Amino acid sequence: MTGGVVPGPDGKPRCPWGLSTEDYVRYHDEEWGRPVHGDDALFERLCLEAFQSGLSWITILRRREGFRLAFDGFKIASVAEFTDADEERLLADPGIIRNRAKVKATVANARVLADWPAGELDALIWSYAPDPAARPAPRTIADVPAVTDESTALAKDLKKRGLRFIGPTTAYALMQACGLVDDHLSECVARRA
């Protein structure tokens, strides 16, 4: 396999990673690489990418509704109010990934972000979107980086502002998922024009 597009169940060319399960097909076609705005929506993606660290994305994707229930829809103001008892509740919740460091980081990050003015997280994250004209469309999976200068700078900036459990790879996955970059392969049906 060259790592290029592969025909999906409907015969349309897609990124090969997006075809392994029906969940992935739907996520690939309808969500990944589409612009996401709003502090709470970006907080959710940031948290899910952090929870994914060391795991496969399908594990997170299949538990996404459980995460949303457990973390009150990822409303920053609400999660910032979580107590030690809430953290223990989360660590006992089989609907999410029960990793103490990741749960604590999510609550701590919400507390930091709750003090930011509305729209600041959105503006900050999107300020790191590279110029699409400067990035050729990837032709194969091998052309898609895991880390970029922008993701390294974004991770550093978020850490400097007090956020935890965010590194350059997680930041780049966030950038891909939220449409700051379009890493759908050049011949993929889901690639934006």
188, 5 contact by CB (below 8 A): yes
Is position 27 annotated as part of the catalytic site?
yes
**Rounded alpha-carbon distances, angstroms, from residue 178 to 78, 122, 174:** 22, 11, 6
Distance of CA 22 to the CA centre of its chain: 19
CA separation for the pair 29, 63 (Å, rounded): 19
Distance of CA 177 to the CA centre of its chain: 5
Is position 49 annotated as part of the catalytic site?
yes
CA separation for the pair 38, 123 (Å, rounded): 9
Is position 128 annotated as part of the catalytic site?
no
Tell me which of 24, 32, 44, 49 is the catalytic residue: 49
Nearest Cα neighbor of 107 from 178, 165, 39 is: 165
CA angle (167 as vertex; 165, 168 as ends), nearest 5? 160
3-class DSSP assignment, residue 88: helix
Nearest Cα neighbor of 38 from 127, 119, 128, 106 is: 119
The residues annotated with a catalytic role in the active site are: 27, 49, 57
